[in-house]
Chains A and B, each alone.
Chain A
Amino acid sequence: MYDVIVIGGGPAGMAAACAAHAGGLKNILIVERDVELGGILNQCIHNGFGLRYFGEELTGPEYASRFIDRVKEAGIQVMLDTMVLDLGTDEDDGNGKPLKTVTVVGRETGFRKLKARSVILAMGCRERTRGAINTPGMRPAGILTAGAAQRYVNVDGYMPGKRVVILGSGDIGLIMARRMTLEGAKVLACVEVMPYCGGLARNVVQCLNDFNIPLYLSHTVTDIKGKDRVQQVVVSKVDDKMKPIPGTEMYFDCDTLLLSVGLIPENELSLKAGIKVDQKSNGTVVHENMETSVEGFFACGNVAHVHDLVDNVTREAELAGRSAAEYVLTNYYTMWVNQQLMKSGTYRYNRKKGEIQHFLPPSPDGAAFKMGENEFICTSCPRGCHLKVYPDQNYRVTGNGCPKGRIYGRNEMTTPSRVVTTTVRLRRKADAVLNLDGENASPATDSTLYDFRVPAKTSGPIPKTRIMELMELVDKIELDERPAIGDVIVKDVLGLGVDLRVTKR
């Protein structure tokens, strides 16, 4: 019997489990489908995570690593490589609270029905596909969602293509525009049907503008050519009813179309437990303490609604974890509002219904990215302040919301610099199964050399003009031993005074 079972070992699940532990629960279990904790953060090797929560800029695997440490310290149990098949409510526990059953299956786990006093749903979300937006044209290879491409490139080290068009300007699409460029592909265009960009301003600056990738707002893909592999993508301008305007066609000869057209909370499991799901967003409908419509089930992270920042996921998950602890440990638990959370801008509390309603923050206007002379969008944090720099006035900066903006603006005028994230090649024998400590749980039996990819980043920003030079250097690196997080791969890379370091445990 568990006090709480957390479904999903991504950022939401880990933070919720830790908070439930801090809230006094002892017997906590995380069920994770993958063979390691971290969820999608493991493929998000770029930086920009943790500014709000940790006050420093981390890559996805680094952010995950901090929570994996916390999970270990708290003694939270973890079932890896295990999938939840069913959820339900069972008999009463004697205190007037119904017990939950969680049916799981896994290679090592077997098929089991687990019991718990409470359940936290942290299954995350999936990507909308071409089928959901009914893009016309052929259906050849080379059309994939940006997240799938991210997994292929960053985890498997497979290149999905060499000439790329991106449909949709969601954050993953923007991030993948930069990634594909760094990996040596040519990104021809990013196409967005709305008159504004779907992703964060900082990603437009760092992922598109830095590499001169055009962003076509109010445009969409109107045809895909190629029987077996994508050969051409046709892009048309749309009118204010989002209907393509004939005669505005642009033709891109390419081999790949990446889709970044939205995320959908994965609530199919929640529905099995009879939990109410919002018809429009597919997010779990939750009370202010993140409890769902079914008692003792809590939801957090992208399963509740799609977040743009993992830091907000963590805060929300901590609330869910604390609430689950309160539910299990007290007979009359109180509902309360986390003021900080309500301020985050993506929630609105409806007192009449007693529910938090989710809404998306207003997206920046497309015109906002057309910068005038000496104007910049600050990328120091997700806020994206619009700066103007006056070089003749000792680089005075206006428009910044904090001192970081002043430094950013000045650097952008003099030597614009970026932290570069990448993967490096690792060729070694496979580990059969890794346990939570990153050690072999069972020994490898096969001696074939496998080609792995290890995430890495520069320990500080390097001049923008040297980025591609660095990437060419990275191509030549080959590790033969599995390194630890923080290990230096190349010291003083290109003589720029920064190191290339491993970012994954």
Chain B
Amino acid sequence: MLVIGCGIVGAAAAFELSKYDLKVGILERENDVALGATKANSAIIHGGYDPVPGSLMAKLNVRGSELCEEICEKLDVPYKRNGAMVVGFTEDDVQTLKGLMSRGISNGVKGVMLLDGDEARRREPGLAPEVTAALLVPTSAIVSPWEYCLALAETAMVNGAELFLRHGVENIERDGETWKVTAGGETFEAPFIVNAAGTYALKIHDMVAERKHTEKSKRGEYFLLDKAEGTRVGHTIFQCPNENGKGVLVTPTVHGNLLVGPNAQPVEWDDTANTTEGLNFVRSTATRSVKDIDFRKSIRNFAGIRATTDADDFIIEEAAPGFVDCCGICSPGLSAAPAIAEYVTDLLFKAGMQAETKEDFKMERRRIRFKELSDEEKEQLVREDPAYGRVICRCETITEGEIRDCFEAPIPPVSLDGVKRRAGTGMGRCQGGFCGPRISELFVEDFGKTVEEVLQDRDGSEMFTGRTKEVR
């Protein structure tokens, strides 16, 4: 079994398949997992009120959101069911909200409720006075998407799956009853393939079958605000969805920041640049629903690509014998991921895959987060292992012990951002200004990298051109 791509969908598929007595290989073209859309999105586990009833999106969103909570609990992924509100300003909006509510009910979303403006503001005082109605979606949640992906991929590996990083798929050929995949200069053979290549999935599809759909990639831009703004709202605040998606949201993150975005700009599939127009649009739209957001507290902008297609639904089907596509996994892909994995597994069984469930499947993962411990626990931990006493990232209070732990995990980081996604260093208000040098030193002095090899993120993102005194 080969899984192509280790974003949230690939990781969830590998995780699901590692429950069976299969030999699972994951091919990832980047130097780390979660480097595509998984690391740059709204980080929401949607309730499921938005997709058209009967669609794959509707079915898998609701089921995925149910599965997510248990997975995050068992695999120690930051997750919080904070609930969402979709706010309306006009009579038309109220009609839309009523429509969404009945959609939600037919999709099986539990607890949806329509509130008037005052009741909405009573529950969420940050809402603008212009808000006249709100749809409450109590099952909506927030999650750390890259940690979710890492947890699923690492658990798959603990249960026998193999991850091949820097193995971009170059070619796929049918060879009798099996597939031959060339990736990263090696050849892999497997009778079954899951194509979970994200924004790249249609290009992988082209290697085995005729194309039926076209890409309609859309970029979304965001502001991430300091934790001082993190309690501006408790719920995830949406506006009424339109043809461009679920609109600009304002939400707390599981890490305690405030996230504002996205817009929806049609772009080339890999253009993740921020634009002044995009950010201005996000800013002015967001302040319609939540008035007093202090954008001076912005600590980072980013942009992500939605792998949208012209299908208006997920495309999850057997594209060729034993080859299952997961294309067009845009929003709510993160929410649906574990359900997509179940669905894909079903398709594979129907396609002739034979496998038994493992009896010794291990579903456990724990991480030490120093700052979340009680004083007594901190005291004891530092006494037992002084590495947890040295704070490396001052903004987020991340210790040397936690950084060391992430290097000992099944998928160790290879870049500064890799450490950031695992340990949380550099996520704070100084954006790595202070801890960046210390982690770079760690790579050079403790992990034997040359100065030129220290990476910011992807391969090619070298931090340094060399040492001083060796330039001329």
| Chain B residue at minimum C-beta to C-beta distance from A256 | B465
Q: Say yes or no for B287: interface residue by CB 8 A criterion.
A: no
Q: Say yes or no for B441: interface residue by CB 8 A criterion.
A: yes
Complex Cα distance, B216 from A442, in Å, reads 61
Q: Say yes or no for A499: interface residue by CB 8 A criterion.
A: no
Asked if residues B383 and A110 are in contact (CB atoms below 8 Å), the reply is yes
Q: In the complex, which residues 130-180 of chain A have their Cβ closer than 8 Å to any Cβ of chain B?
A: 130-132, 134-142, 144-145, 147-148, 151-153, 155-162
Asked if residues A132 and B296 are in contact (CB atoms below 8 Å), the reply is yes
The smallest C-beta distance from A285 to any residue of chain B, in angstroms, reads: 16
Contact with A along B272-302 (1 / 0, CB 8 A): 1111100100000000000000001011111
| Residues of the A chain whose Cβ atoms lie less than 8 Å from the Cβ of B382 | 105, 110-111
Asked if residues A141 and B301 are in contact (CB atoms below 8 Å), the reply is no
The smallest C-beta distance from B257 to any residue of chain A, in angstroms, reads: 11
| Residues of the A chain whose Cβ atoms lie less than 8 Å from the Cβ of B465 | 159-162, 255
The smallest C-beta distance from B61 to any residue of chain A, in angstroms, reads: 29
Asked if residues A136 and B275 are in contact (CB atoms below 8 Å), the reply is yes
| Residues of the A chain whose Cβ atoms lie less than 8 Å from the Cβ of B82 | none
Q: Say yes or no for B332: interface residue by CB 8 A criterion.
A: no
| Residues of the A chain whose Cβ atoms lie less than 8 Å from the Cβ of B366 | none
The smallest C-beta distance from B269 to any residue of chain A, in angstroms, reads: 12
Q: In the complex, which residues 428-472 of chain B have their Cβ closer than 8 Å to any Cβ of chain A?
A: 429-434, 436-437, 440-441, 444-445, 451, 454-472
Asked if residues B437 and A109 are in contact (CB atoms below 8 Å), the reply is no
The smallest C-beta distance from B40 to any residue of chain A, in angstroms, reads: 10
Complex Cα distance, B381 from A129, in Å, reads 33
Complex Cα distance, B467 from A459, in Å, reads 26
| Chain A residue at minimum C-beta to C-beta distance from B227 | A268
Asked if residues B301 and A134 are in contact (CB atoms below 8 Å), the reply is yes
Q: Say yes or no for B114: interface residue by CB 8 A criterion.
A: no
Partner of A110, one of B389, B470, B471: B389
Q: Say yes or no for B378: interface residue by CB 8 A criterion.
A: yes
Contact (A107, B436) CB under 8 Å given A83-B394, A139-B274, A159-B467? no
The smallest C-beta distance from B278 to any residue of chain A, in angstroms, reads: 8
Q: Say yes or no for A85: interface residue by CB 8 A criterion.
A: yes
Contact (A185, B471) CB under 8 Å given A33-B394, A161-B465? yes
Q: Say yes or no for A227: interface residue by CB 8 A criterion.
A: yes
Q: Say yes or no for A406: interface residue by CB 8 A criterion.
A: no
| Chain A residue at minimum C-beta to C-beta distance from B387 | A107
Number of B residues contacting the other chain (C-beta, 8 Å)?
62
Per DSSP, chain A at the interface is mixed
Complex Cα distance, B186 from A43, in Å, reads 47
Contact (A111, B464) CB under 8 Å given A136-B275, A136-B276, A450-B445? no
Asked if residues B274 and A137 are in contact (CB atoms below 8 Å), the reply is yes
| Residues of the A chain whose Cβ atoms lie less than 8 Å from the Cβ of B275 | 136
Q: Say yes or no for B224: interface residue by CB 8 A criterion.
A: yes
Asked if residues A134 and B470 are in contact (CB atoms below 8 Å), the reply is no
Complex Cα distance, B456 from A107, in Å, reads 27
The smallest C-beta distance from A499 to any residue of chain B, in angstroms, reads: 19
Q: Say yes or no for A423: interface residue by CB 8 A criterion.
A: yes
Asked if residues B430 and A127 are in contact (CB atoms below 8 Å), the reply is yes
| Chain B residue at minimum C-beta to C-beta distance from A109 | B389
Q: Say yes or no for A206: interface residue by CB 8 A criterion.
A: no
Partner of B440, one of A110, A135, A156, A162: A156
The smallest C-beta distance from A46 to any residue of chain B, in angstroms, reads: 15
Asked if residues B383 and A127 are in contact (CB atoms below 8 Å), the reply is no
The smallest C-beta distance from B382 to any residue of chain A, in angstroms, reads: 5
| Chain B residue at minimum C-beta to C-beta distance from A228 | B460
The 3 A-B pairs of least Cβ separation, nearest first, read A184-B471, A141-B456, A228-B460
Given contacts A33-B391, A144-B433, A160-B463, 6 further A-B contacts (CB under 8 A): A131-B301, A131-B431, A152-B464, A158-B440, A160-B464, A268-B395
16 contacts between A and B (CB under 8 A): A105-B382, A106-B389, A110-B383, A111-B381, A113-B375, A126-B434, A129-B430, A129-B433, A131-B431, A148-B433, A157-B467, A158-B466, A159-B466, A160-B464, A224-B273, A475-B471
